Amino acid sequence: MEITAAVAHRPHADFTVEKLSLDGPKAGEILVEIASVGLCHTDLAAREGIVPIAMPAVLGHEGAGTVVEVGEGVTKVVPGDKVALSYNSCGRCPTCTSGAPAYCHQFMPLNYAGVRPDGSAPITGAGGEPVNSVFFGQSSFASHALANERNVVKLSDDVPLDLVGPLGCGIQTGAGAVINTLAAAPGSALLVMGAGSVGLAGVLGGVVQGCETIIVLEPHESRRRLALELGATHALDPAAGPLPDQVREILPIGVDNVFDTTGIPAVIEASLGAMAPHAGLGLVGVPTDPTAAINLSLMQALIIGIKIYGIIEGDAVPDEFIPRMTRLHAEGRFPFDKMITKFPMERINDAIAAQERGEVVKVVLTT
C-alpha cells in the first residue's frame, strides 16, 4: 500500500516527507494507521548516526493509532482496536520470560537492525529500492506502520490517540524509572536531574508514588516552572551553586533517590554528594561521548550504601504499564499532556528545531 512517511537520507540533514510503499502484514505482524507519534531523542540520535541504522530510513518509535489489518496468528488485537506502539522484544529469552523485556537478548537486532528478522524491508521507495524500517519494531514517522504482536499495546476506546504515543518510550522511561526501578517510597525524597520530557515524567512518577519532596535540577527557567506545575516541590538552577549544597539546604540528610536524565558525568558525580544513606541512583541519560564514565568513591559507596541502576524503558512491561499510565491520566493523576506540543507530520523539521531551541518540551507529530 502507498503511505506517507518522513525519511532520513543522511546525517545532519532534514527529514523529507515522501510517498513510499508498505507491505501488508506477515504472520505475527499488525498494520496500524498512525494517528500520532512522539518525537524522541533516540530518533534524532539515529538520524545523526549515533544509533547505528543504515539510511535511507523511516524512524519513529512512539506511535499510536488504529489497527487496520492483522497477520496470521495474531490474537491480541483486531481491526478497529486502538493501540500504542512500544519497543520490540522476542518473548522467549530469559529476560523476556522473567518479566524484563526491556533487556531482551535480541533487543538490538529487533529494534535497530532496520529489517525484519528474515532480512526483508517492509518499506520500499518509489523505484522499488528497500528503505530501512522496523525501527523499534514500528517505524511510525508515517501514515501507516507495521508492528508486531509483542510491541503493540491494546488501549481502551476512550484513550486520546493524539496524546498517548510518547507513553511507548520517553514517558514510560521516566515514570517507570521512579515507579518500577527506584520504587520511590511514600514520603521519600527524590532528586530529578534534567526537566526534559523524561525527567518531567519522573516527576509525575514521584507524585504517583507519594514522594514528599521532589527536587528538580534544570537550567531553563520555563522548564523549572513546568516541573513545579507538575508536582515538584523545589526547582533548582545549576548556576545558583553546587548541587549538594543546594539540596542539603532543603534536606540536610540528602535525598533517598536520584534520577539522572542528563548523561553528564559531572552532574551525576555532584549528585552523589546529595544522597542520604542507602540512596538509589537511576541512570537513563545517554552521554554524548560513549566512553564517558563517572568517578565513584568506593569508600563513600560502602559507607552510605549507594545503589546504582542502569535503566532501559523504565523497566516497564508495556502491556501492563502503558494502560496503567492511561488510567492515571484519566483520573487526573498523571497530566503528561501538559508537556506536549503538537505539530503536523509535514512540519517535522520545524518541530525538531523548536525542540532544539528549548521552545517545547515534548513534540507529538500528528498525521
pLDDT digits (tens, 9 = 90+) for 127-159: 888 999 999 999 999 999 999 999 999 999 999
pLDDT the model gives residue 264: 94
pLDDT the model gives residue 51: 73
For the domain spanning 171-314, the CATH number is: 3.40.50.720
pLDDT the model gives residue 367: 86
pTM beyond 0.75: yes
| CATH T-level fold of 2-168+337-366 | Quinone Oxidoreductase; Chain A, domain 1 (3.90.180)
pLDDT the model gives residue 33: 98
Provide CB contacts within 8 A for 74, sequence distance 6+.
25, 28, 29, 30, 149
Q: CA quadruple 151, 177, 283, 305: dihedral positive or negative?
A: negative
pLDDT the model gives residue 300: 86
As beta bridge partners, residue 359 has: none
DSSP E strand boundaries for 10-72? 16-22, 29-38, 57-58, 63-70
Distance between CA 166 and CA 321 in Å, rounded? 13
pLDDT the model gives residue 199: 97
Q: In the chain, where are the structural domains located?
A: 2-168+337-366, 171-314
Residue 313 is given by DSSP the state G
pLDDT the model gives residue 202: 98
Q: pLDDT truncated to tens, each residue of the chain (367 aa)?
A: 999 999 999 888 999 999 999 999 999 999 999 999 999 988 988 888 777 788 899 999 999 999 999 999 999 999 999 999 999 999 999 999 999 999 999 999 999 988 998 999 999 998 888 999 999 999 999 999 999 999 999 999 999 999 999 999 999 999 999 999 999 999 999 999 999 999 999 999 999 999 999 999 999 999 999 999 999 999 999 999 999 999 999 999 999 999 999 999 999 999 999 999 999 999 999 887 888 999 998 988 898 899 999 999 999 999 999 999 999 999 999 999 999 999 999 999 999 999 988 899 999 999 8
- Say if residues 51 and 114 touch (Cβ distance below 8 Å): no
- How many other CB atoms are found less than 10 A from the CB of residue 298? 8
Distance between CA 221 and CA 230 in Å, rounded? 14
Instruction: Give whole-number Cα distances, 58 to 6, 76, 133, 272, 347, in Å.
Output: 6, 25, 5, 40, 16
Provide CB contacts within 8 A for 357, sequence distance 6+.
none
Instruction: Give percent of the chain above pLDDT 90.
Output: 86
- CA geometry: angle 65, 70, 74, nearest 5 deg: 110
Please give the order of strands across the beta sheet that includes 130-131: 57-58, 2-8, 16-22, 123-124, 130-131
pLDDT the model gives residue 128: 85
